[in-house]
Amino acid sequence: MKILTASQIKEADKITMNNQEISSEDLMERAATQVFKEIHERLQGADIPIKVFCGVGNNGGDGLVIARLLLEHSYKVKVFIVNYSDKRSPDFLSNYDKIKNLSNDWPVLLKGEDDFPEIAMGDFVVDAIFGIGLNRPLEGWVAKLVNFINKSSAFVLAIDMPSGLFSDKVSEEEDAVIKANFTLTFQTPKLVFFLPSTMDYVGEMQVLDIGLDRAFLSEITPSAQLIGRQEARSLYNPRNKNSHKGNFGHVLVVGGSYGKIGSVVLATTASLRTGAGLSTVFVPKCGYEIMQTSLPEAMVMTDENYEMITDIKTDLDADVVCFGMGVGRDKSTIVAFKELLKKTKKPMVIDADGLNIFSENNELLQYLPENSVLTPHPKELQRLIGEWTDDFDKIKKVQDFIRKYRLIVVLKGAHTFVFEQGNIYINSTGNPGMATAGSGDVLSGVISGLISQKYEPLFAAVLGVYLHGKSGDISAEKSSYEGMISGDIAENMGLAFSDLLSENKTNPGSD
Ligand SMILES: NC(=O)C1=CN([C@@H]2O[C@H](COP(=O)(O)OP(=O)(O)OC[C@H]3O[C@@H](n4cnc5c(N)ncnc54)[C@H](O)[C@@H]3O)[C@@H](O)[C@H]2O)[C@@H](O)CC1
Ligand SMILES: Nc1ncnc2c1ncn2[C@@H]1O[C@H](COP(=O)(O)OP(=O)(O)O)[C@@H](O)[C@H]1O
Ligand SMILES: [K+]
């Protein structure tokens, strides 16, 4: 699902109104009706106090329409106008008139702190103060109102965006931003919903299709894409019945050191569970028995050295080489890595200490085959590209980095971002149970397993991240966030594939 910027959404609005011959008020009615339907479906006429806070722009206009429809369905609604400006949008004004005509209980005008209403636990608050039009941080009593709502124990539903959140830059720590339990957003999710510094404001998120112009939406180049089941499914390559293991490639995993052979076990298991035809590992001698015993499906080659990798002597022409997990940063390992880089022509997957070696030896990056996949977590990324000022600056710096070295970067996190030149793919699967030792090793194995099966490295990264997260979700369902371990993610890869290929789910951009 495409993620658009505020200006792209505004352009889509204009084109839609033109092509569908509707007014902006019609579009507002349509959008807010969708919101009403969602609320109504969940509340089913329940007798709970609903407090709708409306700004005086179009986000506030949406709030007024939602409130009117709720009143028409006999909900217990109280409307508050957050009167931060005298400049009211025309569509706000016409809906203001409509709601006044409907009820004797007119909206309450809020002009300062003294007017704040009581918000009780059990209230249902609708935040329609600001949407994508926010252009400066909230201040004064409006900022205080936002903090007041945040302090209440009410359930908060944000319309389009949590108020105070910018759509195209991150908020400062001191800024007042609504902390929503749920955000119903129009037509397309916004990039800030997925950034580490802003995602917590959004709560659970659902996208409402408000029927913006299809042709425009399909042609426009998005700022990023959200990868849900449908998008991941479109990347899947079915297997030919007439095939043999040679068709599914050979993965070589190079990694491990004394006490860290487990990371190689995890990555290699994941590569096989993802469908690699063959997997070979290259480990220090201390890893030989561990590998043969814990993963008989893999073939094992060993270094001369017992504890660490010092010389990667192999003529194996693997389809993909995965390097880095548990490998350490000894000088002799760095030399061995350099030699490996020089003789490898096919795209590689580099994780963990492989990345740290690059951070300390930048000159090695020039030997990395084009289209290789780097899978840093934020700390590893920072060592690699330096500090950033905020999440948008980070995105720019990653894009500069991949342009320079012609790579694919998989930035791991609660929402993992896959970067290729000019594009960002944001993952929708995964859960906090995956914050457990070794889940990154599993991801490297999954991506390698897909590359070996002839997926383009970019698609291997995007699909791999999706399936890894899905397997994490299945693992959490079975064992809880706390109880799941990263080996479960590797073991459940098969169920993640089954889920991807099952026929009964069609919701785009979600799971
Ligand atoms: N295609 C869509 O997504 C649609 C969007 N609609 C709604 O329209 C909203 C955008 O409406 P607007 O453009 O009127 O913008 P907002 O309602 O978000 O903000 C209103 C105005 O407040 C002013 N303002 C910005 N920051 C301020 C601050 N810190 N303090 C005081 N004033 C400030 C700006 O001039 C801004 O235009 C969307 O978020 C959505 O809720 C719907 O009504 C119709 C369809
Ligand atoms: N809260 C979370 N939600 C979703 N995915 C997560 C979360 N925390 C961690 N993950 C995923 O788990 C993996 C952790 O990788 P990494 O930090 O390299 O761990 P390790 O070094 O232990 O292998 C990444 O793929 C990341 O996206
Ligand atoms: K809002």
Report the alpha-carbon distance of residue 200 to residue 375 in Å, rounded.
Answer: 24
Q: Is 137 annotated as a binding residue?
A: yes
Which whole number is the average pLDDT over 156-177?
93
pLDDT tens for each residue of 463-507 = 999 999 999 999 999 999 999 999 999 999 999 999 999 986 554
Which segments of 173-300 does DSSP mark as H helices, in order? 214-219, 229-233, 262-273, 288-294
Q: 68 CB less than 6 Å from ligand 2?
A: no
* pLDDT for res 242: 87
The answer to whether the CB of 364 falls within 8 A of the CB of 358 is yes
The answer to whether the CB of 410 falls within 8 A of the CB of 448 is no
Q: 433 CB less than 6 Å from ligand 2?
A: no
How far does the centroid of ligand 1 lie from the alpha carbon of residue 41, in Å? Answer: 26
What does pTM read for this prediction?
0.94
SS (H, E, C) 190-227: CHHHHCCCCHHHCCEEEEECCCCCHHHHHHCCCCEEEE
Q: Does residue 508 have a pLDDT over 50?
A: no
pLDDT tens for each residue of 351-368 = 999 999 999 999 999 999
Residue ranges and CATH numbers for the domains of the chain are: 2-221 (3.40.50.10260), 244-501 (3.40.1190.20)
- The pair of structure tokens assigned to 14 is 């204009």
Q: Does residue 395 have a pLDDT over 50?
A: yes
The answer to whether the CB of 173 falls within 8 A of the CB of 141 is no
- Residues in a beta bridge with 204: 182
DSSP-based three-state secondary structure for 53: strand
pLDDT band per the 50, 70, 90 thresholds, residue 105: confident
* pLDDT for res 247: 83
Listed residue (367, 187, 335, 184) closest to 350, CA to CA: 367
> ∠ at Cα 160 (159, 163), nearest 5°?
70
* Residue having the nearest C-alpha atom to atom 2 of ligand 1: 186
* pLDDT for res 504: 66
Asked if ipTM goes beyond 0.85, one says yes
Q: 5 CB less than 6 Å from ligand 1?
A: no
**Residue to substitute in 130, 192, 208 for testing ligand 1 pocket (most ligand atoms within 8 angstroms of CB):** 130
pLDDT tens for each residue of 74-93 = 999 999 999 999 999 999 99
